[in-house]
Structure 1
Amino acid sequence: MKTSEFISALRAAPTNQLKFFDLKGHAVHYGYHLTELKAASFETVDCGGQTNRWHETIVQLWVPPGPANVCMTAAKFLKIFDKVRGMIPLNLDAEIRVEYGDENLFPSTYHVRSVTRHENATHVLLEPPATTCKARDRRAAPAQATDPCCAAKTQSCCAA
């Protein structure tokens, strides 16, 4: 999800409590703290030798010892976001990710799968990242030969 889409969803219901869940229904503990907003830029080279560039907005959440039993409101999150946006360049077209980990959610930088409004709460569904081979993904052919004699030979995805 783009940062702009996420922020727009929060602005639509600023008084709602902001609750984060994973695909299994585990929740980020109430009383979490927004510890950091990151404007991340990536420059990579994949195993096929192609360069890749992209940006992400990373929201880091943390639960302090003895947390409160209430979630941050969307308005409080937005106040922090707007203040940070005035201090560092956050790319609104960048994917927004949530960095978090505890005994239920493996420490990772999660994708935001969806944001849904409920009565008095906005739910953010977090999806764990997956790995892939970009070179293989680029080469994936939609049509496959039906005759084994004419099928393309399997090649290594790596340039090395």
Structure 2
Amino acid sequence: MKSNLITRGGHDLLAAELKHLWHEQRPEITQKVNWAASLGDRSENADYQYNKQLLRKIDRRVRYLGKRLEELRIVDYSPEQAGKVYFGAWADIENEAGEQRTLRIVGVDEIYDHHPQHVSIDSPMARALLGKQVDDEAEVLTPSGKKRWYINAIRYEQPENAPNWRQ
């Protein structure tokens, strides 16, 4: 089951995408479809067929975003979270081999283009890290067995290189 949690930043990005699709991209493609349809025979009109297909894709995404945004629950940072890993946290972790990673625990809707630093709140890694503090050990069950990760730092600010919704 997909969780309905999202950070405020993630929610804002999805809302911006919906607004862009509905108010900018859809009217532009609709105009192209109308122009291509005015040329006559639609069965062999590549412009018409391509833009009609694109319009259907936009409409599907608009319907999905409209419904999904209503279901989502925004989770804002709370001072009580300080010092522990909770939803929205950035965690610097390290394994026994010295491999270091920085992860952010987010909702499934915030994992853009499989962003390597974002992990879903529903993932085994996120579940293992939740509630932990700096210097705690998190055991993650993976297909290749248990892996240990140590928490080096926790923060809740937004880094400058965070992904932005792209047009």
- Tell me which of the two structures has the higher relative contact order, counting C-alpha pairs closer than 8 angstroms and 6 or more residues apart: 1
| TM-score (norm. length: structure 2) | 0.21
| TM-score (norm. length: structure 1) | 0.22
Judging by fraction of residues, say which structure has more strand: 1
